[in-house]
Chains A and B, each alone.
Chain A
Amino acid sequence: MSPVIRRRGEEFTLPSKYLLFILTVLCVGMIVITFNTNIFTGPLNTFAGVFVVPFQKGITAVGSFLENTTEKLTSITKLIDENERLKQQIDELTIANTNLEQEKYELTELRNLYELDAQYEDYKKTGARIIGKDAGNWYHSFVIDKGTDEGIAIDMNVIAGGGLVGRVTDVGPDWAKVQSIIADNASVSGMVLSSSDNLIVSGDLELYRQGYLSFSKLVDDADKVRIGDKIVTSNISDKYLPGILIGYISTIDDDSNNLTKSGRLTPAVDFEHMNEVLVLLDLKKNIGAGDR
């Protein structure tokens, strides 16, 4: 039965059950080691940088080129119609713009007053392209085309379209892995902008299919938090920079303990159609140290 006997003429081969046993022990050992330390990340990430990332980059580049050309060809007729409509819209918008400019003046005044001027325009950031998404269908992490060579480090925040996308969890020389906030195992400490109440935003696979994130542990005795309120990252989060937009509240429910509230929020970022992201090059802990 054993392969040692069956394959005559060949030199010694290790029976597969022993190989299975050895590799099992190896795997368990590696799980335990990576659970506690991160010794392996260096060499393995370099391997990935050499063999896989260049191809992912190439394919993504070709893919987006093809996508762009087909889009260009199909959309010419649409564009002519759209052009007409847009010209009309310009007129309307000019009027709206003058109104808004007045309001913007008001806003800057109020912002100064509110000391909210530490918006994320101030953070240093770099653009990156998404070159690969999670191999499985369970979590939502992806790979971007910049790494330590561009100054990216673990725990840097990633945004797109003005909203929070996630944070860097692993980094190689020219690539980095980003865990998004919609992943089922991710949670962010957030804050309701209008009332400064803290809450926990967590990704949920089931809710995300319907376009939501869930939030919980909102303490709001005065019932001030309303549907549509903005949720931003909180000041007390140890990984995320404060004041980055996460999304808008869409439902609020009382918890059974009558102390806290939970519900759903609509994320600010369209995670399905995300091609480029911005990585904020400031780390939360450095900012804290700089202030002191």
Chain B
Amino acid sequence: MNFLRFIVNFIFMIVSFILQTTVFRVLDFGGVTPNLLMIFMISTAFIKGEKPGLVIGFFSGLLVDIFFGTYIGFFALIYMYIGYVFGKLHDMFFTQNLAIPIFLISLGDFIFGFICYVLMFLFRTKFDIGYYMTAIIVPEVVYTAIIAIFYYPFILRVNNLIDERELRSAKKFV
């Protein structure tokens, strides 16, 4: 991981977080906002593999924790494991097709929502899973998937540009 990639990823993360907490709070549908950090994390995990996935997951989660978490490390843990697991899929799929990453992002967001429900609501004896599914988890997944259709190609493009640059500079040194 070189310096440029580090800076770009850092900016992506901060921008995703800021957009998620400001702009998309205004553009919400039924009080539900898309999870941009999840899109960015799973996209990177899918494009670059498990290690960037888990590192970005860790820091994205930490960012959420600092601002909105009760305990620091809670969301970091969840995001990190999702990033790691989806990074494993990097080796299995061909990344040119848009449908697969969008599906994976939706799946990841769904898993995230479900884990949140189990850890924060089920453990406090709130059993009405049908309600939470229809009111929060599924709308969030759908909205996230729609945003991901536009956001994922952008992330992919930026990643490709950095890859090319790295390749060029590597050649120069040889």
Contacts and interface: CB of A to CB of B under 8 A. Distances in A.
Interface stretch (A24-32, A227-235, A252-260): A24-32
Interface string A204-236: 011001000000000000000000000000000
Interface string A132-150: 1111111101010000000
A133 B17 CA distance: 11
B54 A16 contact: yes
A55 interface: yes
B21 A134 contact: yes
A90 interface: no
A133 B22 CA distance: 7
Interface in B76-91: 76-77, 80-81, 84, 87
Contacts of A251: none
Contact of B22 (A26, A40, A51, A132): A132
Given A16-B84, A206-B128, A56 B22 contact: yes
A86 interface: no
A59 B68 contact: no
B154 to A, nearest CB: 19
Interface residues of A, number: 47
A262 interface: no
A287 interface: no
Given A52-B14, A59-B22, A59-B23, A137 B73 contact: no
Given A16-B54, A27-B73, A139 B22 contact: no
Interface stretch (A41-49, A75-83, A105-113, A158-166): A41-49
B71 A35 contact: yes
Contacts of B77: 24, 27-28, 31
Contacts, number: 128
Contacts of A55: 14, 18
B71 A31 contact: yes
A135 B51 contact: no
Interface stretch (B25-33, B94-102, B157-165): B25-33
A59 B167 CA distance: 36
Interface of A: 3, 13, 16, 19-20, 23-24, 26-31, 33-35, 40, 44-45, 47-48, 51-52, 55-56, 59-60, 63, 67, 131-139, 141, 143, 177, 184-185, 205-206, 209, 272
21 contacts: A3-B51, A16-B54, A19-B54, A20-B81, A23-B54, A27-B76, A30-B71, A31-B73, A31-B77, A44-B72, A55-B18, A134-B68, A135-B17, A135-B68, A136-B35, A136-B64, A139-B68, A143-B67, A177-B68, A205-B132, A206-B126
